[in-house]
């Protein structure tokens, strides 16, 4: 089945130790997104790629970086995790905006739960 896969599902890291989260998709979608979701909060968009075109949200901390080496894979790098970065990290994909200006649906992976000790 076509899907969005995230690895690992659970990640534990130490304060300040760099960590990389992985996302892959078999949907062949143009757009890939990274969200951060803390308990009882809305998913917060960090950045997205349209193909190789990177789009950063204005309030995304510099501590968060992303790479998309090809259509299928996207990585989230947290350079120096702090206690406040503990959250669920969600990857999503979409075909993107149509010619009509309407945006196609997003499909989410299962998420990676990050714990910072």
Partner 1 sequence: QKEVEQNSGPLSVPEGAIASLNCTYSDRGSQSFFWYRQYSGKSPELIMFIYSNGDKEDGRFTAQLNKASQYVSLLIRDSQPSDSATYLCAVSNTGNQFYFGTGTSLTVIP
C-alpha dihedral sign at 37, 42, 47, 51: positive
Query: Is 105 one of the binding residues for partner 1 (CB under 8 A)?
Result: yes
Query: Is 110 one of the binding residues for partner 1 (CB under 8 A)?
Result: yes
CA 74/CA 65 separation, integer angstroms: 11
Show contacts with partner 1 in window 32-71 (CB under 8 A): 33, 40-45, 48, 50, 55, 57, 59
Q: Which tokens in the block code for residue 107?
A: 């499909």
Candidates 18-26, 64-72, 78-86, 99-107 — which segment interacts with partner 1 by CB under 8 A?
Answer: 99-107
Which residues lie near partner 1 (CB under 8 A)?
Answer: 31, 33, 40-45, 48, 50, 55, 57, 59, 88, 90, 92, 94, 96-97, 101-103, 105-111
């Amino acid at each position: 089945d076509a899907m969005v896969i995230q690895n690992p599902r659970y990640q534990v890291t130490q304060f300040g130790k760099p960590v990389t989260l992985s996302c892959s998709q078999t949907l062949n979608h143009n757009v890939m997104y990274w969200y951060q979701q803390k308990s009882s909060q809305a998913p917060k968009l960090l950045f997205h790629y349209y193909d190789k075109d990177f789009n950063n949200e204005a309030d995304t901390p510099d501590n968060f970086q992303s790479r998309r080496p090809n259509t299928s894979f996207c990585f989230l790098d947290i350079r120096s995790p702090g206690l406040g970065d503990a959250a669920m990290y969600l990857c999503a994909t979409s075909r993107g905006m149509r010619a009509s200006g309407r945006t196609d649906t997003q499909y989410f992976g299962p998420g990676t739960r990050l714990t910072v000790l």
